[in-house]
């Protein structure tokens, strides 16, 4: 029986739990505090268990270290969490654990597995998979393991019993984010992570969430599943009331307190608010800015360009925001519609123009290879980039679990070992997983290379025309092909430098210092956006209201 348990190594605490952040060999350069593991290990500690973290990805630990750890101590449970790119690593870690400590219950979670629990269980040979945000459902599971009971009727998990896989309902996600413990920072090497943290722009930077979820449903994104009850039911069979939750906000008081804590304990002065969508909700944005401005920190975040108005960006800048990641995705309206982005191109463009006016640095994130992408949509995107002085540095559209797009195509994936193995080793900024377009793959890759080079050469030498412009584009295409073959340790600094140099020069038109009234931008729905999420109606009303004196 899966719940038959071992003797405890130590009576002082309930269980010894090993938490592994599995490796992602495809992009070792991305260093970050894995928030999902951070929160779940904090819950385990709160329940009285002793947790040992092996941060294999960030610290580039080898499987030898894992074996030595397993030889030194007996663990009753192992937590693993992460992206789809880490599932291959989860399988390898599980294999080693089961070899040395067969009774240790391996529990998986995170966006890489929560949406495909049966596939993940079969592939990794783990014991239990969490099917969503786990803070509220973990304590009864741990209790059941500790007491050697089955976890019948515990929503939130899919697990083995004998030869069967038992699927419980998808659990309700935590509503009250203030009630959650802080991620267990002390279990991670915060000194190392914060000095290298992806998205950071300060000497010591960390990711932090001010909210969870997003009210939109872009088809390549996790929220296309999470905000779609019908799809959630299809995937999980049973879904608890409130399992499909849109955006949830923590109180700004708790946010400010955590920032203060991280600053005083670890000297963190820069934060990346890793919210899925920070910008749309005007009142909330104002509340956060008001609460953090006095703290004197620098920060960055991400959000929708079509909702980024001058006054919002100005407010953010005043509160210490150094740059914003905009999910622009494409310059083609046809593709924006196919992506269910609910965005109109002129509104997106206006957001970028607003950022330039305010002097807010931004990175416009693009993708290439979405179903429906054609030579003509790529050309449209190139024109959009040239018009708005942007370099097209796209990620290849990738089939990740936890998206509607994934479920539209998942039936075509027959070899899961190929899928997880390839995902673990490729870097989506330069490699294609599968071609989802009707273009031949060779053509798609050539168009992507041309588009990058064409926008780059226009930025490098805007006055160059005719043959010389074409020659420069050709030269840059060759440079791109070479750089795509370089290791990330070489390629990432070049990419970042290009972004830093050209991102900054294009944001040179700075604030005139004048007070900005509300509503300095046409609201996105006036561009014909349909069906705005309920939670945003209020924000929209405020946006369209006459400016406050």
Positions touching ligand SF4 (CB under 6 A) are 214, 216-218, 221, 223, 276-277, 304, 327
CA distance 376 to 368: 12
Tell me if 109 contacts ligand B12 by CB under 6 A.
Answer: yes
Tell me if 420 contacts ligand B12 by CB under 6 A.
Answer: no
Min separation Cβ 417 and ligand SF4, Å: 29
Tell me the window of 79-87, 277-285, 472-480, 503-511 that interacts with ligand B12 (CB under 6 A): 79-87
CA distance 353 to 522: 12
Tell me if 33 contacts ligand B12 by CB under 6 A.
Answer: yes
Residues 6+ away with beta carbon under 8 Å from 69 = 18, 52, 54
- 33 contacts which partner out of ligand B12, ligand SF4, none, CB within 5 to 8 A by kind? ligand B12
SS3 263: helix
Nearest partner of 339 among 404, 262, 415, judged by Cα? 404
Q: Which residue has the tokens 């929560």?
A: 114
Contacts with ligand B12 by CB under 6 A: the residue count is: 42
Query: By C-beta, is 79 or 273 nearer to ligand SF4?
Result: 273
Q: Footprint of ligand B12 on residues 324-363 (CB under 6 A)?
A: none
Min separation Cβ 91 and ligand SF4, Å: 28
Query: By C-beta, is 38 or 320 nearer to ligand B12?
Result: 38
Min separation Cβ 277 and ligand SF4, Å: 5
Min separation Cβ 211 and ligand B12, Å: 10
- 110 contacts which partner out of ligand B12, ligand SF4, none, CB within 5 to 8 A by kind? ligand B12
Query: By C-beta, is 227 or 309 nearer to ligand B12?
Result: 227
Tell me the window of 82-90, 147-155, 283-291, 327-335 that interacts with ligand B12 (CB under 6 A): 82-90
CA distance 543 to 537: 10
What DSSP designation does 388 have? T
Burial class (CB in 10 A: 0-12, 13-18, 19+), 153: exposed
Min separation Cβ 302 and ligand SF4, Å: 8
Distance from CA of residue 284 to its chain's centroid? 21
Residues 6+ away with beta carbon under 8 Å from 158 = 117, 118, 121, 128, 129, 131, 165, 166, 167, 168
**Signed CA dihedral, 384, 388, 391, 394: sign only:** negative
Separation in Å, CA 261 to CA 33, 254, 255, 294, 420: 16, 10, 10, 15, 38
- 394 contacts which partner out of ligand B12, ligand SF4, none, CB within 5 to 8 A by kind? none
Across 328-351, b (16+ Cβ under 10 Å) vs e yields bbbbbbebbebbbbbbbbebbbbb
Site string for ligand B12, 389-408 (x = CB under 6 A): ------x----xxxx-----
End-to-end CA distance of the chain: 68
Query: By C-beta, is 398 or 519 nearer to ligand B12?
Result: 398
- 30 contacts which partner out of ligand SF4, ligand B12, none, CB within 5 to 8 A by kind? ligand B12
Min separation Cβ 400 and ligand SF4, Å: 12
Helix axis angle for 488-505 and 466-485, nearest 10°, is: 140
- 392 contacts which partner out of ligand B12, ligand SF4, none, CB within 5 to 8 A by kind? none
Nearest partner of 39 among 169, 205, 168, 208, judged by Cα? 208
Site string for ligand B12, 275-314 (x = CB under 6 A): -x--------------------------------------
Strand partners of residue 81: 109
Dihedrals phi, psi of 29, to nearest 5 degrees:
-70, -25
Among positions 177, 274, 335, 368, the unique one binding ligand B12 when judged by CB under 6 A: 274
Min separation Cβ 366 and ligand SF4, Å: 13
What DSSP designation does 171 have? P
Residues that bind ligand B12 (CB under 6 A): 24, 27, 30, 32-37, 39-40, 79-81, 83-85, 107, 109-112, 114, 130, 133-135, 138, 198-199, 207, 209, 221-222, 274, 276, 395, 400-403, 428
């Amino acid at each position: 029986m899966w719940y038959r348990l071992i003797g405890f190594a130590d009576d002082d605490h309930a269980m010894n739990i090993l938490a592994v952040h599995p490796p992602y060999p495809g992009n070792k350069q991305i260093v970050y505090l894995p928030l999902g593991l951070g929160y779940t290990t904090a819950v385990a500690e709160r329940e009285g268990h002793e947790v040992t973290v092996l941060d294999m990805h960030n610290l580039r630990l080898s499987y030898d270290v894992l074996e030595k750890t397993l030889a030194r101590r007996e663990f009753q449970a192992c937590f693993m969490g992460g992206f789809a790119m880490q599932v291959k690593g989860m399988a390898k870690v599980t294999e080693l654990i089961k070899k040395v400590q067969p009774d240790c219950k391996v529990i998986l979670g995170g966006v890489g597995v929560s949406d495909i629990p049966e596939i993940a269980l079969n592939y990794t040979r783990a014991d239990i998979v969490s099917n969503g945000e786990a803070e509220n459902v973990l304590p009864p599971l741990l209790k059941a393991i500790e007491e050697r009971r089955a976890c019948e009727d515990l929503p939130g998990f899919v697990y083995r019993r004998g030869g069967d896989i038992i699927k419980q309902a998808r659990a309700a996600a935590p509503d009250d984010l203030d009630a959650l413990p802080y991620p267990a920072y002390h279990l991670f090497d915060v000194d190392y992570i914060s000095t290298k943290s992806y998205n950071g722009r300060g000497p010591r930077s960390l990711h932090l969430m001010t909210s969870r979820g997003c009210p939109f449903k872009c088809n390549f994104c996790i929220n296309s599943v999470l905000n779609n009850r019908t799809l959630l039911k299809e995937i999980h069979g049973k879904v608890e009331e409130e399992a499909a939750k849109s955006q949830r906000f923590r109180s700004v008081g708790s946010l400010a307190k955590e920032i203060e804590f991280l600053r005083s304990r670890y000297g963190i002065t820069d934060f990346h608010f890793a919210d899925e969508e920070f910008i749309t909700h005007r009142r909330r944005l104002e509340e956060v800015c008001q609460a953090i401005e006095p703290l004197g920190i620098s920060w960055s975040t991400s959000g929708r360009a079509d909702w980024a108005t001058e006054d919002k960006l100005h407010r953010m800048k005043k509160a210490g925001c150094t740059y914003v990641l905009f999910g622009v995705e494409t310059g083609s309206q046809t593709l924006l519609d196919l992506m269910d982005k609910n965005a109109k191109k002129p509104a997106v463009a206006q957001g970028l123009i607003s950022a330039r006016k305010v002097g807010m640095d931004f990175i416009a994130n693009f993708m290439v290879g979405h179903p429906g992408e054609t030579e003509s949509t790529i050309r449209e995107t190139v024109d959009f980039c040239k018009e708005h002085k942007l370099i097209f540095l796209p990620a290849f559209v990738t089939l990740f679990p936890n998206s509607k797009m994934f479920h539209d195509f998942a039936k075509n994936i027959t070899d899961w070992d190929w899928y997880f193995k390839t995902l673990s080793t490729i870097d989506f900024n330069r490699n294609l997983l599968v071609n989802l377009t009707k273009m031949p793959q060779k053509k798609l890759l050539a168009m992507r290379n041309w588009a990058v080079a064409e926008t780059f050469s226009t930025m490098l030498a805007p006055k160059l025309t005719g043959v010389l412009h074409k020659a420069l584009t050709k030269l840059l295409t060759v440079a791109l092909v070479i750089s795509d073959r370089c290791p990330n340790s070489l390629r990432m600094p070049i990419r970042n430098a290009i972004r830093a140099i050209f991102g900054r020069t294009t944001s040179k038109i700075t604030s005139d210092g004048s007070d900005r009234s509300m509503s300095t931008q046409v609201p996105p729905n006036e561009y014909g956006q349909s069906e705005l999420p309920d939670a945003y109606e209020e924000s929209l009303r405020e946006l369209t209201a006459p400016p406050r004196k």
